[in-house]
Amino acid sequence: MPFVDRADAGRQLAAALAGYKDRRPIVLALPRGGVPVAAEVVSVLDAPLDLILVRKIGVPYQPELAMGAVVDGRDPLVVENTDVVRAGGITAAAFAEVRDRELAEIGRRRTRYLGGRAHPRLEGRTVIVIDDGVATGATTRAALRSVRRRKPEWLVLAVPVAPTETLDALAEEADEIVCLEDYESFMAIGVYYSDFNQISDEEVTETLARFPAERSTPERTSPP
């Protein structure tokens, strides 16, 4: 397997992102699986860590198939996979029901993970979005679009593993994509890890407690 566990993947990803240290980036992790990966990256880059709360909106009768995704915020961003919605005959009411359920889970996670934790300003900053891998790209696309709304100077998607086709489809959503392993024939993300155990809420909150949400204000620099 390319990766022993998420920490190993994070260390390898940190090495690939080392050139960003001088740009003082902000790292945003997708919980839960992206958090231990991001922890290794922020340790090397000496970067602040925050979360981006995004949930897949799964087809009611096939929850693993994404018909969209929703991202937390004052005005939550909803991205609909129109091809899946159309092919599955999903009604607007059925879509809204699953969306609202996922928004409720986002609210639970926001309270559980973040509480009153401050959020760094992303405007004019270099922002690196990290997960433990990408599959269909539905949640990743929504996360990147949500971050783009906050006007970063340079937006990077960094993941250990992904399908080549999905990376191609996401190319316009980020200024740069850093992926350690991509495959034309892709299986589940966990296949590429020796240890892909589920991450608990406690692990997420403990990791956030180790890393602040902001450091000193960096000098503005140009994209690489």
pLDDT confidence of residue 64 = 87
What stretch of H or E contains 210?
helix 201-210
pLDDT confidence of residue 222 = 40
Q: Are residues 24 and 124 in the same domain?
A: yes
In this predicted model, what pLDDT tens digit does every residue of 40-62 receive, in sequence order?
999 999 999 999 999 999 999 99
Number of C-beta neighbours around residue 88 at 10 A: 17
Q: Are residues 73 and 37 in the same domain?
A: no
User: What sign does the CA torsion over 204, 207, 213, 217 have?
Assistant: negative
The alpha carbons of the chain give a radius of gyration, in whole angstroms, of 17
Q: Are residues 140 and 101 in the same domain?
A: no
Choose one of 86, 113, 140: the last residue of a domain: 113
Residue 223 has pLDDT above 80, yes or no: no
Nearest to 133 by CA among 68, 63, 37: 37
CATH code of the domain covering residue 23: 3.40.50.2020
pLDDT confidence of residue 215 = 65
Is 142 part of a structural domain of the chain?
yes
Q: Are residues 145 and 192 in the same domain?
A: yes
Mean pLDDT for the stretch of residues 173-189: 97
Nearest to 219 by CA among 153, 134, 135, 150: 153
Q: Are residues 36 and 134 in the same domain?
A: yes
Residue 204's SS3 state is helix
Is 128 part of a structural domain of the chain?
yes
Q: Are residues 128 and 182 in the same domain?
A: yes
Question: Structurally, how many domains does the chain consist of?
Answer: 2
Q: Are residues 152 and 197 in the same domain?
A: yes
Is 86 part of a structural domain of the chain?
yes
CA angle 148, 149, 152 (to 5 degrees): 50
Q: Are residues 198 and 102 in the same domain?
A: no
Q: Are residues 190 and 88 in the same domain?
A: no
Q: What share of the chain is helix, strand, coil (3-state, %, to 5)?
A: 40, 25, 35
In this predicted model, what pLDDT tens digit does every residue of 86-135 receive, in sequence order?
999 999 999 999 999 999 999 999 999 998 888 899 999 999 999 999 99
Q: Which two tokens stand for residue 26?
A: 């902000």
Residue 214 has pLDDT above 80, yes or no: no
The range of the structural domain enclosing residue 102 comes to: 55-113
What's the rounded Cα separation, in Å, for the pair 123 and 173?
A: 17
What's the rounded Cα separation, in Å, for the pair 36 and 202?
A: 12
Residue 73 has pLDDT above 90, yes or no: no
Is 91 part of a structural domain of the chain?
yes
Choose one of 81, 96, 113: the last residue of a domain: 113
Q: Are residues 192 and 131 in the same domain?
A: yes
Q: Are 137 and 46 in contact (CB under 8 A)?
A: no
Q: Are residues 130 and 41 in the same domain?
A: yes
Q: Are residues 98 and 18 in the same domain?
A: no
Residue 191's SS3 state is helix
Q: Are 74 and 103 in contact (CB under 8 A)?
A: no
Q: How confident is the model at residue 219 (pLDDT cuts 50, 70, 90)?
A: very low
